[in-house]
Amino acid sequence: MIGKVTNKPELRYVPSGSPICSFSVEVIRENPSSTGKAEEYDVFPIIAWNDQALYCNQSIEKGCWVYCEGSLQIRTFGEMGAQKRTTVEVILKDIFRLQQ
């Protein structure tokens, strides 16, 4: 996907010591069903691990355009007895910062 970073990447460490970085990317989606040339936006959470996490924390900033390659991960969570929630995340494989 190609899109604009919507928030400053957040770096943290899991108990095992591995770095993890999370941020979101906004992707433009043309809506051919509407009249005129309407654009809509989808926002995808991105999760980067290890070396990719460190790179994202140092090189990616809010507002920059990026090319992200990765796999989708669908997670369901919620407390017992409560309504379950589902989220889709992109587990980052590779990222390139694009020239603006």
Give the chain's domains with CATH numbers: 2-97 (2.40.50.140)
**Section 13-42 average pLDDT:** 86
pLDDT at 54 over 80: yes
Q: Residue 57 is inside which H or E element, if any? A: helix 50-59
Is the model's pTM score more than 0.75?
yes
| Residue 5's pLDDT band (cuts 50, 70, 90) | very high
Give the per-residue pLDDT at 58. 96
Give the per-residue pLDDT at 39. 78
What's the Rg (C-alpha) of the chain?
16
| Strand partners of residue 91 | 47, 71
pLDDT at 81 over 90: no
Do residues 21 and 57 lie in contact, with contact meaning Cβ atoms separated by under 8 Å?
yes
Mean of per-residue pLDDT scores for the chain = 91
Do residues 49 and 14 lie in contact, with contact meaning Cβ atoms separated by under 8 Å?
no
Place of tokens 């999760």: 47
* 52 backbone dihedrals φ, ψ, rounded to 5°: -65, -40
